[in-house]
Every structure is written in C-alpha cells, then in structure tokens.
Structure 1
Amino acid sequence: MKAKRFAALWLAVVLTMSLLVVPAGAVSFTDMQGHWAQEDVEYLAGLGIVKGTSATTFAPAQKMTACEALLFCSRATGVSAADKKQIAADRADQLKEILPENVYSWAEEEMAVCLETGIISVTELEAMCSSGALLKSITRESLSMYLVRAMQLEPMAKNLTNYSMSFADTASISQALRPYVYLLNTYGIVQGNTANQFMPQGSLTRAEMATMLRRAIDFMDEQGIYAELPAYTDYQWVGGVIDAVSSTSNGATLLTITGNLTDTFGISVPANVPIYENNIRTTPNSLRAGQYVRVNLDDKGAAQAVRLGGTLTSLSGSITEVSQDSITISVGGTSKRLDIDRFTRVQVGQLVGDPSLIEPDAGYTQAQCWVDGMGHLAELKLSGGTRSAEGFLTSVENTSGGQTITVSAFDGQRAQYTLVSGAAVTVNGKAGSITVSNKGDYVSLRVSNDNAGTVVSAAVDTVSDYVQGPIKSISFTKDPYEITLEDSLTGRSRTYPIASNAIARYDGEEITVKEVARNNFATLQLSGGQVVLLDTYPASTTTQGVIESITYASPTTLAVRTPQGTTATFTIDLTNLPDIERDGKTSSIDKLRSGDKVTVTVRYNEVYEIEATSQNATLSGTITRVVQDTTGVSIDVRFSDGSTDTYQVSEGVSVTQKGSVISLYALKPNDAVELTLSGDEVVAINVTGSSSSSTQITGSVLVVNTKDDTLMISLEDGTPLTVDVEDASFVTISGSSTSLNKLAAGDQVQIYGQYSGSLFAATLVVKL
C-alpha cells in the first residue's frame, strides 16, 4: 500500500514539474497546431508565462492540479523576478514547514508569491497539503477564487450584494464561490460551454487555464491592475478620510483629508495620476467625501497614485495577541484577526507612526481598529501597556510622590521621566532605588503609554561602564586604535584604547571602526579600560515638540514636550546663545514662550538652532481674582459672555506683555489677558492691558538684548522678568556712566521704573 501511495504521489509531481520546462523563444508546440487555444498558449509561452511539458509539446488536454493552477495564477500578478526571489527567501522557512519536500524544491518561489499576494492563505495551503488536494485536479469554481485573488479583485467580490448569472447550471456553483465566478464572467475571463454551462465541479485543462490566464492578464493591463506588495515597497504615503474635494484651474484635484490619528491636511492630485477603486483604474469623479484614501508619494512628496478604500469601519476590543504583522482582538466575544502592514497607521500612547512602534511584549490591553472597505487595517490605536526607553541617568531629583529623572539616550538626546513612588526598581538585578549616586549609570525603563513620561519600572546597571559625548579625535596610527571623547557629564576629554574586536555602529547600522568619524556623538562601552562598543550618531540631531517651560539659570534649561509624550531637555549657555528664530524672524531666547511649537537642532552636543512658531491664544478675558499660596498661583478669569473659570498656573508657564516676559506674580485683578490652553492646562498668558504702579526691582542679568532694548533678569525669588530699558539711563554703583551693551549675564542690577500693566519699564538701571 505504501508503495502504491508513493507511486501515485511521484506521478503527480512529475506532471506538475512539467511547468518548469524552459520555453523555446518563438514557441510553437506540435500538439497545439489548429487547437482553439493555440494563439493564447503560444503568446503566453513566448513571454515565459506558461511552459510546455517538453520542448515541443504543451499537452493541452492534460488536467491541471491545484499546485499547477496556483503557480499559473502567481504569474498573473506581475511580481518582478527580483521581488519574487526575495519573497521566496523571506518565506523559505515557512514554506519548508508546509510543502512536501519534493514540491518545495521547485515550486517555492511562485508559491511564496501566492502567499504574499493573497492568492492563498497559509491556513488554506496547510489544509490543502495535509489533505493531499495540492496534487489533485482542481475544480473550475475553486480556480475562479484563486484567479480573482491573483487579479487583486477579492475585496470587490466580497463586497458584492448582487451576483446573478445566466449559466444553465448556476445553482450548482457553491454559494461562497459565486461572487468570484460572477466577476470572471462579467469581465469575459470565463464563459459557458455550447450548452451555457459553467461546470463548476469539472476539472480544468492546461489549455483552458492558459486561455483564462491570458484574458486575466489582458484585463489587468487594460485596467492598470497590479499586485501592490507593502513589504516590498518603500515610497512614502499619506492616508485618511476625504473631507472635501475641489478642482484647481490646472485640472488637478485638491483633497482635504482627515485621519483618526493625524491632523487634517490637503494634497493635490494632478490629472495624470492614476486613481484606483477596488483596485481598478477609475476617474477623479470617484473621489468622494467620506471615503478612506491612500495617496502614494514620489521622492519629492508629490502624488504618484491614489487608492480608494471605501468607508472605514471602527472595531474596538480587548487584545488577545499582537505583533508588528497582525493583531487579534475580542469584539463582543468574537475573535477578530487583522493583518498589519506598512500602510497601517499606528498610535501607541501619544506617538503616531508605522508598525515599528508596536512592541509585542508591551502589554497593550485595548485596541481601536479602523478597517476600510477593502478589508485592510488602515489605522490602529493601542491603549494600555508600556514602551521601552534606555540610556544613562544624568540627573535625579526627589519630588513629592516620587522622583524626576533625566535620561540621556544613546544618541545623546535627553528626556525627563517621572518615577512615581512604588514603581519597581532594580539595581543590578536586585530590588533597590535610584539615588544621585547613580548619575552616569545605564538604566532601562518601561514607560506608561497612557500616562506619558511615567515610569512603571526601572532597571539600573552600575556594573557596566559607559561614557558618552562628542568625539574629539580618533587615531588609527597606534595599536590599539585610540578615541578621545568629551564626557557629557564632566565636560572633560579623555582618550581610550579601542579593543581589536570592538563593535562599531552608526545610527544603528554596523560599520567598521575605521568608519567612525570625528565630531559625531558617541556612547562607548568599556571593558577592562578598553572600548568594546562604539555606538555613534550624527553630529546634528533635531527634536520637534512644544515648549513646556524655560528655566532661566546658569545654565538655562529648555523643556520640550515631544510627540512621544516625553519631555526632552536642552541645556543652553546664556553667554553663548544658539541661533533663534520665532515665526520665521530672528529672535532671542527671552521671546520664546511655553506653548510654542519648536524644532531644536543640536550639533556636536550643543544647541545650535531653535526654530519656534507661536501658538494663538484660545481664550480672552479679565482677571477678577489672584490667589498666591504654597501650591502656586490660581486666577479667576471672567469672559465676555459673563462666565467665570478658575485656572491653576504653574511656575513654568510663560507670562508676557507686549512680547516681553513678566513675572507670574505680577498678575493683578483687572488685568486683561489672553490664555493659551492645552486641554484644561494653561501653557501661556499674555497680558493685553492693566493698571500701573511705581517700584524698584533687584536681580541678576540673564540675557542682554541690545536689538530690542530689553534686559531679562532673574528676580531675587528666581522669577525671570523682561525689562524695557529703551528710555533708561545706565550707571554703576559708584555713579559712573555705563550702557546696556556693557552689561553681561550674571551682573547684579537694581532697576527703577514702573509697571505698565505687568510690564516693567525702566527709567534707571544701576549695575551693583
């Protein structure tokens, strides 16, 4: 019995392997002369799409096995030879587990394409192999499903609500497969016989398959259909739901698009850009409000293709399994699995990006999924769980309820985190705590996705030896090589020998040690006094976000809230200020405000440039009450409609009048104010009018702004204040005359003048 089973299997394999006979250029098969399918077979054979059973024969009446039919279908997709080879390599291990060994050896490339393009699923292929159906003849109705999938039309088939056919044997077609047969019949790819029968359970011959394949390929060429493979494309894209559609004078279509996870934006679609609906070419008239759309972009950011996905359906549920490739959620007790690809927009916590944001072990609990009409997961929002962060402790500050820690990442960018009381902390694998003595130690964090910047657990390593900073020099003339680094913590330079087996990386990619460049930022791992790991990064980095606060001191600290929800901190030397722009104009640090959108550029571990964009006030009113206590300042504001609200104002909030910084504690009842809010939180206050009083103030100079004739000083209580000195006289304590440009950061001054509202206008500045 075993021998007979093996003989039958081998016979089927021999028949299937006939696909691999090399075609002979201008092909002419002896057994196709005068055959009704001669033109189709010889045309496809000439292109290398179908192949004969020998150099001279095609065997048109031979029945197709399911394996042969699948491989024929794979050729309709138009996948390039290079992509086909890469797909096969990527799926090699998977297919070795599924396919019989003597089938895998010759069918792996095209079967891999079948899986990648959705012609057949892994589950279906496994079932076909285990039952032996892979090497048995295939029915016409089953082939219809695989061919529709190869043509990228399955979403259309699944969305059909009416698919009546006139075949005499329509009732014999399986209900689930009728939409597939209907589409192929509608587009002229399959037809009935002389008795108008489809014969759904009948077997398929090689000649019939070749004819259907040519019709399918011709149809795909006419409609511009091709298999788009997310994993094997790298162009940029944008997507969302169409809000509005309008036409421009040059024939382009302007789309206004809103994403559930992104802001509203506009994009122009030139008249010559192809538009696809249900994967078939269509016209700009198909671009309608309410539909999900994905626009593929060229390397200049211009539209190069538009794909409509129909209406988005929202699904929410608890997560049972998640990876960067798929997610399974429970919706009302029913399990739902969705594939994730690079055309899926992902949000984790406050960070929006691609599927690389997903950490399978992060412990996400809930998911909201937006699925388009094609069945594609367009947008995914994950809630709960944590994300990883790592780096080196640069500061530890004890606060009520926990600690504020600053961590310098491997690329030198610093971020602040809140380590709440009760958070799990280990030191060298044992329960412990973080103290000031851990400054410079490596730390691995798990940060809450829902409570941005809050650390759930921290693991400190005091054993491993690291140092980081800008590379001052690197020498390859000695043995061993040597590298000199300026330590970011101490500011001191030191030279380290490089171990012969040291690993070097640049921006995450492995390089040779000799490719390490001077001035780049580096994190070095040391062992026995030698460098064993060089993690290097570009000398210039940028960080985008919103200014959270500016702490004027020596040095001054700029805190920026990043899209990830963490607070990045930057140290600024007031005696050597970076280039600063605000709203596209040259500005100064005293003009920056909490709430400004900002891009901070760091070069060689120093802030090189700050580009800020001011944010408009959202509420205007009049202060009716000011309360100052140990918790800070709260203000009651009456609005034009007569309503009143109370706001707690923190120390870091910028308070300005006429473009200059004033003291938070200078706010008074009857001040007219504009408030910039982030949610319910006040991020900036601008005083637009108030009363005045005469006084004198004392403090130390922070910033001298000769262009605007202002001084920013730190009052005795540490509050920063901008003083208008345009009409002021300048003298020293001894009575001799001086000037604004002779003042410097750190100078002590006593200033006489008066508040114009909450802005202090000086009449006399005395250098103490």
Structure 2
Amino acid sequence: MTFKYNHPSHSKKVVSAVLAGMMALSVGGGAMAAGETETGSSQNAAVNSTAAPAGLFSDINTGYWAEKHVYKLAYQGILLGNNGLFRPGDAVTQQEAVTMAIRFMNMESQVNTTTAAALPTNMEVGNYFKPYVALALQLGLVDKTEEAAVDVSKASWGQKPATREWITKLLIRSLNKDAEAKAQNNQSTSFADNASISDSAKGYINLAVSLDLAKGLENNKFNPTGSVTRAQLATFFSRGESLTDTKYPNTATGYVTGLKDGQITLVVDGKAVNYAVNSSTPYFTKDSETRASASDVKLYTKVLIVGSAGSASYVEVVDAKPQVESVEGTFARSLSGNKIGLFVGENYETYSYDENTAFIDQNGKAIKLSDITADSTIEVQRETFSADKKTVLVQVKSGIVNKSDSGVISEVAASSKTIKLVNAAGAAEQYTYNDNLIIRYQNRILSAADLKAGSSVKYTVKDNVLQTIELAQGVEQSVRGTLVEIGGNQSTVMFKRDGGSLEAKLLIEKPEVIISGIQEASLNDLITDTNNGDKVELTLNSDDQVTRIQVIGRQMEPLNGATVVSYNSKTKLLTVLDANKKPYVFTLDDKTKMDYNASKPTLAGLESLLNDGRKLDLTYVGTRALTVKVIYKYEGTISSIDTSNRKISLLSGSQTITVPYTTAPAVEMYNKSNGGLSDLKIGDNVTITLGSNQDVVQKIALKTAAQFEIVGVETNGRVRVKSDLLSSQFYFDQAVLTSESGQTITTSQLIAGQLINVTFEGITPKAVQVVKRTLAEVTAVDGTSVTLKQFNGSAEKMSVSGPVKVLKAGSTLTSLTNLTVGDRVEMTKDTDNSTRFRVLTVMSKQFWSYDGVGNQILVKRETTTDTNYRFALGSNVFVHQGDNTLSVQSLRDNDNIVLYLLNNVVFEISKQ
C-alpha cells in the first residue's frame, strides 16, 4: 500500500477533511462527525455480525450526513452491521478500529480463522476479533510492546474506547508511515496540551499534522485521551480509499460511455462493463455529502461504482468534467475505412469513427453521416481517457434548417430578434425571427413581447427563420388604459383601453397594486373615473385575469397651503381657501388618503383637526379629495436661519417657506445628542416639525447618511452594525430597504458582512441601501480608470467618474493615481455617491495553525511579547499560491504567507 503524494486534491483536501473532521470534533455524532460502523456487538460479534443488507441500517435514515460513506463501505464489504444497526454515535472500540483497518487495507484474506489466535494475555478481545487483532500485530498496525503497558483493569483491551492519539497511530500505520512517524518522536507537538500527549504518540501526531491529517481543538488543544465515534472513524476509511492503491474486488472506477434507462456503461481498464441501475440506486458526487440524482452522471465523466453481478449498488461521480476534446472544422467528405475528412483552419485532417459514434444535427437529433453536406461546420468530440481517443460525437453546427417541432422557450432576445428553445428531444436550439412571425394562442394573435421563458410551444422553421409559434397555454400579457370602475365586490375591473373601447376583466383574489409613493397599495388606493381615472398597466395571466395593476399616470391636481374655512362631518364637505383666497369645496370619502401626525390616521381623527384656519395640502380630481394632509412638517433645505427675529426659512420644492419659533427648537441629528441651531448650516436637508397650532417650529431633524457594516441581524428585527470599529444597533421598521440592484427587500434578507448606506431623519433610519462591495487586486490604474482582478480570476477595467476617495495608510486621498498596481482594495460607493477605495493592510508572517472553530489563523510570534498573532478570517477568504487556489487547511507550519487585512480581518492569504 502506498500513500499517493501525486494527487494533492485527494491527499490534502480529502484527508484533512477526514481527520480534521475526526480530530477536530468532539465525541458524539454531532455537527460534522462522519459515519461508519464496524461489526459485532461487543462480545458476541462472531455470532451476530452480518453483511449490510440492501436497506442498510435501520438507524441511518436517508439524508443522514454520513449516509454516503455508509453506503459505499457496506456494499464494499468493509462495513458490517449488527442485527441491522449501525450505532454511529458510539465510541469506537480498539477491536472495532483494528478490524476496520484490516478491511480497509483489503487484507481480510490473510486473516486466519482456522486456528485459534494466540494473543498477549492482556489483549483480551471478542472471539470474532481475535484473528483480526492477531494479523494487526503481525502487520505492525498495533505494537505489542506498547499495548503490554495498557491499563485493562476497567475494560478489556478490545472493549477499551479508542483514544484520539491511539487512532492516530493506527491511521498512520495503515498508510505505511510508521517509520517516518517514529523518526519524529523526539519532537514536541505544537499543541497547548503537548505535555498530556504520550511521548510514543508525538511523532505520529506531528506526521499527521504535517500531512494535514490532524488539527487541534479549541484553544489549540489535541485532547489525546478523547474518544472517537464509530461514525468519525468510518468516514476516514471511506474517504481514505483515494489515498491508496488498494483495489476492492467489487469496486470499479472508469469513464461513462453509455447511459440508458436502467444501465450505465463504464470503461474500466480499457474494457466496457455494463451496470444495471434502478430508482433505489444511491447516487453521490465526490465533493458533496448529500445525495445526488441519476441526472448528475454525465457521459465521459469519471465514476466509481460498487456492485456485483452487473448491478450497481453505489454510484459516485469522482470527476464531473467530461473527458473529451473538441475540434471544429469544415466538413469535406466521408472517406473509406470509416473516416471523415475536414478542414481545420488551413489544415486537412481525418478522423476515424465506429458504430458507437453518434452523428447529430445542430438541434441534437440523430442523423446519418450521409446527411452531412460538404462545407457544413461540424464539431468532432473525442474521448481523452484512452490511447485510442475514439470519436464519440460528430455534430453539425450550422446548416439550413426546415422543420416543425415542439418544445419550451428558454429565452427571447428582442434586441437581436432571436429565440432560444429546448426541443422535444431535449436539445437546445436558437433561431432568428422577423416581423412576419405569427404567434398564436387559441384565437388570439400575440406579439413577441408576450412570449415568456418556460412557455410550451409548437413552432415551424424555414431557412433557419421562425415562421410560426403556437402556445400550448396562455402567457402573461400587459395592456394599458384608463380605470373606469372597480366592481363592488372587487372581483372585476372596467377600463378604457388606450385607443379602444370599454373592457371588463376579472381580478384574481388579491391582485398586486403598485402606486408610486404608496407602500402596500391596495385597490382602494386607485382612482376610478370615466374621464380622470388612473392611467394603468394591467398584467393578465394565462386565464385572462388581472394579476397586477400599476398606476403609470394620474390626472389629479395639487393644492398646497390651503386654509380650512369649514368642514361638515355629516355631508363630508370640506371648504378651503387657496393662497389667493380662492374658495374650493371638496368631498371626502372612504378612499381619501389622510395624513397627519399619527402613525395610523383615521377619518375621525382627521375631522377633529379640520377647524377654521388649519393649513392643509390636498390633491383632488374634480370635487373629490384624493389626499388630505394636515401640515405638521416641512421638508427641504435650509436657506436662512434668522436668530434675531427667530425665523427659519427653507426651500421646499420650488417655494420658500418661513416658519417662526418662540424658543430655540430641539435639533435632532444622528451621532450627536443635544443638538442646537448652531449645528445647522445653509443647505442642510432637514425636516421641520410644527407645533399643534401649525404656527411655530417644534423640532428640526437633520437628514444625514452614514455607511455601516452589518455585524448581525436578530430575529426581533434589530440590526447590529459597526462603523470604524464603533458598534450600534437599529430597528429599520420605518425605513425603506433596497438591495444592491434597487429591489425592495426586508430586514431578514440582510446578511452579516454586508455594507449598507443608511439615510437618517434625525436619529430615525428612513432608507437603507445595500452597497456593492468588490474586493480585488489593482492590476492597472490611470487618472480615470482602474483595472481590478477579482478573487475569482475575472478582470474588469472600470471607468471612474465623479469624486474619488482612496483610504490608504491612514490618509484619505482624492485621486485614482494614489492607487498602486498590486494594491488589494475594497471598492464601494460612499454615502455621497463618491467611489471609495480602501487599501488593505499588508503583513508578511509565518503560518502556525488554523482554528476552525473560531475561523481564525495563528501566525508565529515575532517576539515573546508579540500579541498580534491571531487573525479573524473573512467569510470568503481567498487563499492562493500564484494562480492556484488553496484551502486554508492546506497551509502548514512555518509556511511564509502574506496577509491582506481590512479592519484586522483577513480577506486574502498569499502563500509564498
């Protein structure tokens, strides 16, 4: 058995995930322990042990986190059960662990069950396990001298729970690394509880750490005497298979060359093998612990199958990338000897084919070679997993198409007049269309704008151009018109279509109503009138019912600064004078929107305020009042503060409003208590709240904006944030929240780590905008643009206009040229809409260890007094060496690394 150093994706990622998961987790079947069960019930294993049945174990349900490993090991015969039970959370015993190791090494055939095994007197084990332990002693998996000193007064040697350091020895020896481990036994480990680790185990633990097999627990402790669950041990052996050259008789790894209903064809060592599959066959992928589906198995991908007699019991996709190469060229002709000739660039090349080669057209339908005409563009695909590189597919990429078919629309691109479909055979197609395209649904003629992705259609094509499309079912449509009436029971809507006559449509039970400036608008907010009703866009579903009404225009008139003359509560007649003393009489009704200084305005509450002299802002249609707002505040920018005459003027819209005050009003502003008039200046955006008589200023709220990073979102709606390391908390119940793209969101959709711009009215958040945050490396920069290479490898040149802020080394600079190629930056938009670049701090360190529990790394101290050696990692920290992406678990003791930090959080680690 050899340890595969030439497969880093396995040896580092798999094993560290295995033992890191096993060594870094506490006892029990919790969080990410892994699962396996050995054989036997303690003493009577020899009698009760049975191979795992088809249904596996009754205590392992579908979806169990270790289900994948249990399936594989059980069907390979490595894992046996006891009366149909798995017992994943039990502490694994030493005799169970040894038996698992023997089977993992595929050495069970060397177990001598014909003669009684002679074991040292202190190594008492169950009868079933005796020959396994005897072989383990012979192979050196267990050291006879070491075990002679074990205390077996409380439990027999076999029933003794396997400790973490004992398991480490067994695992290293199973990988044939015993001598290499012993060579390090004179070296201390880096764990804080090194003194508690047996001297004979230190070399094994050091080797396990250097191989990324073991990690410490909380506070950098190894906990050498802690126990290991059966689940944790089993997952190691399951994943560890990829680290050895061991072959299992019923396990095959190869490439998929055939997929039919009920069958997978696998090429294994150059030979094709057929495996039957059915609805109960478990599918998994290498990189996931959860079940996959049969559709995840693709042609020419690398797959592991456990099975016998031509039937697959377990299927795992080992490498999901199809092992094929493609060549595109111009078809010349077919040749004798099963060959085709084509021009690839300026070269003439020939390719062989056989009876298994598929020939298809550009729509994925099977064709004959004789159907391919000269000068057609074709693609030849060849497999790359054999020396023959057989041609597996020849596809026509372009040619004249005349056809009728059915399928599903996947995309409609109006700008290029193209439609993408998936045809009845499941192949993707794309065609152009022109103004002659006829689109029908039953007796209705539709437009291309009415086509939606997901619609089932029949279609005809001539000379590669769509001629007709017939929808199998209706699609959403939009119509525009003027609202005339909402039915009495709110089940119908009557409107006058633009350029047409009156029409009536049924409403769904709760149609969406969108009116600019009105949150959670309802049907009662709509204005219906034969001549002056709302201009609306109605969305109709496939049943011709209205699902959405959006107001796109209103003919209402405003009347600001009106003075109440009288109000009759019986007739609901309101008489007012405008600024020029012109009288108006309006009728209030149940649809009139009211606004006064109350969280939930009512008509009764409004009526009590409509006394002579009260100032109002109104909107109306004819004599009907649509909105009535009792003026209790003014919003605008300060144009003057006259402290001598006690007056404040502000520009609100196009008018200047001057309001007196008797005593200096309270000034409310974010981040400052006990504000006063001296804190205000000309041009400040404010809200002035009036006294109950509307005659004097009562309070002034300054409108400001600030940027924060979200620390956490609590279930009660409270959001914890920080800014420049100062923490705050807010409720956003009175604020409008929007995402990066401007879509309305809720508080529960905010995520820790996001940046947000918060607009305050005084101390009350009124608007919250999620800020796009780009972390990247500067690869080029000039006075007007910067090229950024993001962590995913994509690079983009960005033009930057308007104000710029570059926060670098404690200074705020105002030019892009202050950025340097190689700088790591966070690019955001600041609250004043300026583009902000925060340059990350750079530190060169030596790696020590990774704390997975706290998501931190520890680096070597530069001096004994150095306290800056522990760093928090960002949620998506980018770890790499050159262009190769790494995991933080792959870093080793003494690796030279460069850290890039923002607010003392590491967002990038570059291994040197």
With the shorter chain as reference, the TM-score category is under 0.3
Name which one, 1 or 2, has greater alpha-carbon Rg: 2
- Which is helix-richer, 1 or 2? 1
Q: TM-score with structure 1 length normalisation? A: 0.26
Q: TM-score with structure 2 length normalisation? A: 0.23
